[in-house]
Amino acid sequence: MPDKPRLSRTAPAPKVGIVHLGPGAFFRAFNAVYTDEAMALSGGDWGITAVSLRSATARDQLEPQGGTYTSVTLAPDGERDKVIGAITQVLVAPDDPEAVISAIADPAVRIVSLTITEKGYCHSPATGRLRLDHPDVVHDLAHPEAPRSAPGFLVAALARRRDSGAGPLTVLSCDNLPSNGALARGVVLDFARALDPDLADWIAEEISFPATMVDRITPATTADDVARLADRAGYDDPGCVAHEQFRQWVIEDNFVAGRPAWDSVGVQFVASVEAHETMKLRCLNGTHSALAYLGYLGGYETISETVSDPAFAAFCEHLWAQEILPTVERPEGEDLKAYCQTLLARYRDPSIRHRTWQIAMDGSQKLPQRILGTIADTRAAGGMPEGLCLVVAAWMRYVGGVDETGAPIDVRDPLAARLKAASDAADGAEATVAALLAFDEIFAPELAADAPFRDAVSAAFARLEKDGARATVTAFKP
């Protein structure tokens, strides 16, 4: 069979109004889709310059296609395809840092959005502050004209905007982090103060950093996904992304230089995102991580396979009803019990092959906001969340790097080597738990020093070692 022709742009590219850092699958399945729909419905110059801070993959996939790609909606009744044209160009930061700074400094750009994952903020997850000893931050403070980190690029470009009179813009974090707007503002100001206190004052006064809550399950695109699309659509698109039908975007309405008409395509603009983001981080991301670590250890490849086991589904429902929801304030317009039932239905959808291994990545960065905050709130109220303690123990087993059959685990985490070394050096459940609780960039000192919590995690770790994840979850009784 001859090769299929490559997808190509058929309409003029929109003029750029947004620079986006981190053009991975989630951005393409979410931000760019909303922006494409908003421009189609309401107009505006909101084309996107996408910037990869590390890899050239996105450029190599999208540049030959004029920035276009296919958004594939997965559903039990089949796959639906839509070509997205919001991206006008893709830059690779290490190849040309100056091009990235110039792109953000362009007066036509009014928003810089971010999906750079937790580790992209170069912060300590336990404190939220910029790590001034982070290797990229150290480099960027010494070489501000050729940055490597997101904070370094933002500060360099904002300095140029200030000096050139290009005017303010909005920095829009779209990562799954609590108070992500405040976090982005904090690391940018920490970096700017270390470089130029007057610039930090200007940023604090002129630049807005709205908080957001984003939600759409986006499995990693596979070669089979690309092949099925080619058979269906008649063209080759290595840049395609697959995602679930559900989507939700809640944004604090604080834009200093305008925004697309995202509200016309379903975005919720609110005065405060805090309750929505806490709901999502704890209810969805918290149970996603629980199922990822316990499911992976139990031998399940995907979330849908994991919750098809009645014991894992029941464990998930226990976490919501007994341990998570008591710590979550109800957001305006939300029914928390109904929200959790919708989550379980999404998890069960077999068309969404979201791998447990994918969700398990970068756990050292995710654990504080997804799991540990709920545990700390429960302990402060005098309770002991046994199920979440089991989740922490499962994460500790996972980062030990060996599964229940003795096979190696490909642990993808910024602290992977240190975590494995600490685990390998410890003898027994109590020693392993103590060694990993000592990572103060993950565990707040007061939680790590909480003896009943430490004992509960140690007991759960010992059960996982002795009986395995499936048996432990099946026998779980708080």
Which domains can be identified in the chain, with CATH numbers? 16-270 (3.40.50.720), 274-474 (1.10.1040.10)
Cβ neighbours around 324 below 10 Å, total: 26
- The predicted pLDDT at position 422 comes to 98
> CB neighbours of 197 closer than 8 A, spacing ≥ 6?
none
- The predicted pLDDT at position 278 comes to 94
Q: What is the pLDDT along the chain (478 residues), one digit of tens a residue?
A: 358 999 999 999 999 999 999 999 999 999 999 999 999 999 999 999 999 999 999 999 999 999 999 999 998 888 999 999 999 999 999 999 999 999 999 999 999 999 999 999 999 988 889 999 999 999 999 999 999 999 999 999 999 999 999 999 999 999 988 899 999 999 999 999 999 999 999 999 999 999 999 999 999 999 999 999 999 999 999 999 999 999 999 999 999 999 999 999 999 999 999 999 999 999 999 999 999 999 999 999 999 999 999 999 999 999 999 999 999 999 988 999 999 999 999 999 998 989 999 999 999 999 999 999 999 999 999 999 999 999 999 999 999 999 999 999 999 999 999 999 999 999 999 999 999 999 999 999 999 999 999 999 999 999 999 999 999 999 998 7
Beta bridge partners of 157: none
Reported in sequence order, the residue ranges of 225-267 that DSSP labels E, i.e. its strands, are 241-244, 248-252
Cβ neighbours around 467 below 10 Å, total: 14
- The predicted pLDDT at position 333 comes to 82
Contact 281, 274 (CB under 8 A): no
Determine if the pTM surpasses 0.85. Answer: yes
- The predicted pLDDT at position 301 comes to 97
Length of the chain: 478
**What is the rounded CA–CA span in Å between residue 212 and residue 345?**
24
In whole angstroms, how large is the CA radius of gyration of the chain? 22
Angle at 218 between CA 217 and CA 221, to 5 degrees: 155
